[in-house]
Amino acid sequence: MRINFGYVAMSKVVKDCSPSRTVTVKSLSKIEDDEVRLHKLKSIAKTNIKNTQRLFYHNRAHDIKVYRLTSKLIPLATHPITEKWDWFKDIYSDLKGLGEYAKEHNFRISAHPDHYTLLNSPKDEILQSSLKDLIYHYKIFEGMGLDKSAKLVLHIGGSYKDKKRSIERFIKNFIKLPEHLREIITLENDDKTYTAKEVLEICQQVKAPMVLDIHHHWCNNNGEDLSEYLERIFETWNYEDVPPKIHVSSPKDEKKFRNHADNIDLDSFTEFLEKAKKINRDFDVMIEAKNKDVALFNLIDDLKNVPNIDVLDQASIEY
DNA sequence: ACCTGTCAAGTCTGG
DNA sequence: CCAGACTTGACAGGT
């Protein structure tokens, strides 16, 4: 089975290449002239896209096919202060070029709306702003010309003191989403509230692919053994054009167990590979480590010394 | 050039 | 009921 590795948003190798530059609401509101204000937003957005393109060149040079876009590509895109700004029109040609490169090199693109995007909030205004955020991410993919193989990764949300009803509310709201949004959403287990088993059940019910986060599973489980669920988790991807994806990170330390370490611990990763071997199916690994792409290269280096593993190129292995 | 407090957003906990 | 933690890259103001 073949495993492709990727990383999140920014590189530790390419310098001065943030795709997430922004501006604060405070400093933006100090600008009186509308034109100057729009220019500020527009130039930050363009810089972010340009830097993402530079990261794409870097990814191409290092055989990296799996990449998560920053959610902050367009500064304050869903904030009321930019309401009058038609950002899509201003940067469409830049986005289009970015997407063409991604498609040309078969990149597998994803994005991860942050934890303020909550489809199961009991408050309608939170649901509405979450919807707005999903639409924002969709427009980025759309502008890039990506098809539904580009995925959004979401968590289920809060428990609101009644997990059962909160799951029901999630499902109700998820099903109501327009088709074009629903078909790009994948659901991930989190480190505090919704376990891998619970998310799997939701995924099966709403027919969404599940992204398994191994680190989150260690933080939050009811004693379930992953190997019992792995096959069914991967099966949620059966109708997709892309292989299943998992998230991999290592705990910072015993005390700050939920925090991400700089790099990936080899032993726990190979332990997972043993379990995955039984299913014998290709999958993608999103490395979520402080050292970003460097952590990916470090892990690949470590894997070179593991028996039965062939390192195919700088970012993929055969096992 | 470097340092430090602050930042759009929600939820949960502890006081 | 409210303040603070959560988490984290980047801004912004100061030196």
Residue A263 DSSP class: S
Q: CA–CA separation, A137 vs A156, rounded Å? A: 17
Q: CA–CA separation, A184 vs A211, rounded Å? A: 12
pTM metric for this prediction: 0.97
Strand B proximal to A133 Cβ, under 7 A: yes
A123 pLDDT above the threshold of 90: yes
Residue nearest to nucleotide B9 (CA to C1'): A116
| Interatomic distance A165 CA / B9 C1' (Å) | 24
Q: Where does the pLDDT of residue A94 fall: very low under 50, low under 70, confident under 90, or very high at 90 and above?
A: very high
What do you get for the CA distance between the two ends of chain A, in Å? 5
Is A258 in contact with A219 (CB distance < 8 Å)?
yes
Encode pLDDT of A164-213 as tens digits: 999 999 999 999 999 999 999 999 999 999 999 999 999 999 999 999 99
**What average pLDDT is seen over chain A?**
96
Would you state the structure tokens that stand for residue A51, as one six-digit string?
Answer: 């830097």
**What pLDDT sits at residue A255?**
87
Would you state the torsion angle of the CA atoms of residues A69, A18, A316, A96, taken in this order, to the nearest 10 degrees? 50
Q: Which CATH superfamily is domain A2-318 in?
A: Divalent-metal-dependent TIM barrel enzymes (3.20.20.150)
A75 pLDDT above the threshold of 90: yes
| Interatomic distance A21 CA / B1 C1' (Å) | 20
Q: CA–CA separation, A196 vs A199, rounded Å? A: 5
